[in-house]
Amino acid sequence: MKSEILSLLLIVPLVGAILCAMMNQESKLAIKSIGMVSSIVAFVLSVWLFITFDAKTSGMQFVEMHAWIPSLDVSYHVGVDGISLLLVVLTTFLTPIALLASWESIHMKLKGYVALMLLLEVGTLGVFISLDLFLFYVFWEFMLIPMYFIIGIWGGGERIYAAIKFFLYTMAGSLLMLVGILWLGYYASTQPSGFFTTDLLKLYKVAPGIPMGIQSWMFLAFALSFAIKVPLFPFHTWLPDAHVQAPTAGSVILAGVLLKMGTYGLIRFCLPLFPQATFTFMPYIAALAVVGIIYGALVSMVQPDIKKLVAYSSVSHLGFVVLGIFALNEEGMQGSVIQMINHGLSTGALFLLVGMIYDRRHTRLIKDYGGLASQLPVYATFFMIVMLSSAGLPGLNGFVGEFLILLGSFKSVSLGSHFYALFAATGVILSAVYLLWSYQRVFFGKLDNPENQKLVDLSLREWAVLVPVVVFIIWIGFYPQTFLEKSALSSKQVLEQIDQARKIQMAGTGTEAAAHAARRAE
């Protein structure tokens, strides 16, 4: 079982999706049950994966490889390291929760909905475990389709605009990436005794040797695609529309998992494949990340729509993740990895909570609420915990990531300036502002809107949705080591890869790289 577990992880939700599609549209309970069971089985598998993962080695584990297009050396090659492991667990954790959250809110075309949610899981898992660029690209594009339909069919009033915007934005980036992948394969074939390949581990060895001029273009082709996905300022405007229009479960997966594909892509592909270009573009990307942190927080602060507020807060939070990655040290990288998980949990939970109140009141406008704390004490408590986690309160998960990222970027030799961290740290103040202000307007004060006086507090199902998330929010806050341990060596490995690759390149391409390094050193 050990070697096939990753394939099994893909097959389980896939089979679930096929079963759903074959069901009668009317047997709703059966459809929902298939969805829940297959996603929970996938979660259990990933927990087993997590437990048996050996944190003492930094290489890929649970590797599986089958030839696919042998003439181009394209293969079904999957495996996980500590970084992808955590994201796999996050994906399988959030999928059943998202399904349970939409248990009662989806009535139309239920089987299509459940099937698409499961296909979405297949796509995202595939992205995180692919070790072949072609395979990765297939999953990357594949995942767009279920998401497009989930927004476009079960979304809000302007769902079509949002779905198309989401689709086109992402496509625009990924087409460039496809060109990049093909060029990489071609480049491999031009090497002495080389051949065309899309295998990531093989490309790791040759790609860093690409001459600087072309490497920059390659880096940009990949980075743009990932930056749109993250989303990095100023490529973020698809996000608020997509989030606001998507149904709750869609927003949860979108924020919780899909955005991480961008930051994961940076770590897995951009940095180790194009180390020299990474150093060239690092200050610009880090600056955009810092702008995103502050800008996202400020724009979030003035949103009248609470879902949009959470959406913009994602721009701010993901800015932290990108900053941590480009700090290029262990603190920053580890902080970014754990922050990806944290954002998945806390922003996912915020969307869950917003969805719960939307199901009851069918409005997302903050001004329609006020004084809910007295009517919905349990709901208010959950919201408070999640909000504080999002605001980075020590003792809850968000702090661990934010602190490590800020520390990493502060002391980063590569960034070479304290100002990135100094400006980014103002995000700590701003996140408290937009979160506390919106919380106050929704929950505090008098309960004077008669519509709100009829609201009922959380149901048992909603408890079941929120409790697991809150458990992890507190767990990571007090004992993040459970997770940090798993990714420690892999994070280090990525950094060493960059370091070594740079050394090889400096020795290899000689004058240009050396001159560049000298310029940097000055």
Partner 1 sequence: MAHQLIAYAIFLPLAGFIINGLFGKKLKSETIIGLIGSSTVGIAFLIAAMIFFEMVSTPVQDRTRIVHLFDWIVAGGLSVGFAYQLDQLSVIMMLVVTGVGTLIHIYSVGYMHGDPGFARFFAYLNLFIFAMLNLIMADNFLLLFLGWEGVGLCSYLLIGFWYDRKFEKGTTGDAAKKAFIVNRIGDFGFLIGMFLIVETFGSLNFGTVFAQASTLQVGTPVLFWMTLALFLGATGKSAQIPLFVWLPDAMAGPTPVSALIHAATMVTAGVYMVARCSILFALAPATMEIIAVVGATTALFAASIGLVQNDIKKVLAYSTISQLGYMFLALGAGAFSAGLFHVVTHAFFKALLFLGSGAVIHAMHDEQDIQNMGGLKSHLPITYKTFLIGTIAIAGIPPLAGFFSKDEILWKAFSGGHVVLWLMGLLGAGLTAFYMFRLFFLTFAGNPRWRGDQHPHEAPLTMTIPLMALAALSIIGGFVGIPPSLGGGNAIEHWLEPVFEKANETMVSHGSEVEFLEYVLMILSVAVAAFGIYIAVIWYTQKKEIPERLAQQRPKWYKLLLNKYYVDELYDAALVTPTVKGSDKLLWKGVDVGVIDWCVNALPRGIAGISKSIRLVQTGIAQTYVLVFVVGVVAIIGWLLTQ
Burial call 141-171: b when 16+ CB within 10 Å, e when fewer: bbbbebbbbbbbbbbeeebeebbebbbebbe
**DSSP letter, residue 232:** P
Q: Which positions ≥6 away from 53 have C-beta within 8 Å?
A: 61, 62, 80, 82, 85, 486
Find the binding residues for partner 1 in span 298-357 (CB under 8 A). Answer: 298-299, 301-303, 329-331, 334-335
Identify whether the C-beta of residue 396 lies closer than 8 Å to the C-beta of residue 477: yes
SS3 of 160, please?
helix
| Among residues 3, 25, 191, 426, the one that binds partner 1 under rule CB under 8 A | 426
For position 453 contacting partner 1 by CB under 8 A, the verdict is no
Structure tokens at 505: 């390149």
| Residue 74 CB, nearest approach to partner 1 (Å) | 32
Beta bridge partner(s), residue 79: none
Beta strand residue intervals within 25-90, DSSP E: 61-69, 74-80
For position 56 contacting partner 1 by CB under 8 A, the verdict is no
| Residue 237 CB, nearest approach to partner 1 (Å) | 5
Query: Between 109 and 492, whose beta carbon lies closer to partner 1?
Result: 492
Identify whether the C-beta of residue 148 lies closer than 8 Å to the C-beta of residue 190: no
Question: Judged by CB under 8 A, how many residues of this single chain contact partner 1?
Answer: 57
Q: What is the CA radius of gyration of the chain?
A: 22
| Residue 508 CB, nearest approach to partner 1 (Å) | 29
| Residue 363 CB, nearest approach to partner 1 (Å) | 20
| Residue 247 CB, nearest approach to partner 1 (Å) | 23
| Residue 217 CB, nearest approach to partner 1 (Å) | 21
| Among residues 59, 194, 213, 395, the one that binds partner 1 under rule CB under 8 A | 395
For position 443 contacting partner 1 by CB under 8 A, the verdict is yes
| Among residues 213, 234, 508, 510, the one that binds partner 1 under rule CB under 8 A | 234
Give the binding range for partner 1 (CB under 8 A) out of 35-43, 183-191, 342-350, 388-396: 388-396
Give the binding range for partner 1 (CB under 8 A) out of 4-12, 150-158, 267-275, 481-489: 481-489
Query: Between 441 and 502, whose beta carbon lies closer to partner 1?
Result: 441
Alpha carbons 408 and 50: distance in angstroms, whole number: 26
For position 481 contacting partner 1 by CB under 8 A, the verdict is yes
Q: Is 198 exposed, middle or buried (0-12, 13-18, 19+ CB in 10 A)?
A: buried
Torsion sign over Cα 325, 329, 335, 341: positive
For position 150 contacting partner 1 by CB under 8 A, the verdict is no
For position 416 contacting partner 1 by CB under 8 A, the verdict is no
Give the binding range for partner 1 (CB under 8 A) out of 14-22, 232-240, 249-257, 260-268: 232-240
Torsion sign over Cα 192, 196, 201, 206: positive
| Residue 110 CB, nearest approach to partner 1 (Å) | 33
For position 437 contacting partner 1 by CB under 8 A, the verdict is yes
3-state helix, strand, coil in the chain (%, to 5): 80, 5, 20
Alpha carbons 51 and 47: distance in angstroms, whole number: 6
Query: Between 137 and 443, whose beta carbon lies closer to partner 1?
Result: 443
Q: What is the distance, to the nearest Å, from the Cα of residue 281 to the centroid of all Cα atoms in its chain? A: 22
Give the binding range for partner 1 (CB under 8 A) out of 93-101, 142-150, 199-207, 443-451: 443-451
Find the binding residues for partner 1 in span 486-515 (CB under 8 A). Answer: 488
Identify whether the C-beta of residue 323 lies closer than 8 Å to the C-beta of residue 420: yes
Query: Between 224 and 400, whose beta carbon lies closer to partner 1?
Result: 400
Alpha carbons 256 and 241: distance in angstroms, whole number: 16
Could you tell me the end-to-end alpha-carbon distance of the chain, in angstroms, rounded to an integer?
Answer: 54
Q: Is 51 exposed, middle or buried (0-12, 13-18, 19+ CB in 10 A)?
A: exposed
**DSSP letter, residue 365:** B
Query: Between 59 and 394, whose beta carbon lies closer to partner 1?
Result: 394
Residue 265's alpha-carbon distances to 120, 298, 409, 445, 470, in angstroms, are 18, 27, 20, 44, 28
> Residue 243: which of 303, 302, 312 has the closest Cα?
312
Query: Between 264 and 312, whose beta carbon lies closer to partner 1?
Result: 312
For position 419 contacting partner 1 by CB under 8 A, the verdict is no
| Residue 406 CB, nearest approach to partner 1 (Å) | 7
| Among residues 360, 445, 475, 497, the one that binds partner 1 under rule CB under 8 A | 445
SS3 of 50, please?
helix
Query: Between 123 and 371, whose beta carbon lies closer to partner 1?
Result: 371
For position 421 contacting partner 1 by CB under 8 A, the verdict is yes
| Among residues 371, 383, 462, 466, the one that binds partner 1 under rule CB under 8 A | 371
| Residue 84 CB, nearest approach to partner 1 (Å) | 18
Q: Is 481 exposed, middle or buried (0-12, 13-18, 19+ CB in 10 A)?
A: exposed
For position 464 contacting partner 1 by CB under 8 A, the verdict is no
- Positions in the binding site for partner 1 (CB under 8 A): 165, 168-169, 234, 236-238, 295, 298-299, 301-303, 329-331, 334-335, 371, 373-374, 388, 393-395, 399-400, 403-404, 406-408, 410-411, 418, 421-422, 425-426, 428-429, 432-433, 436-437, 440, 443-447, 478-481, 484, 488
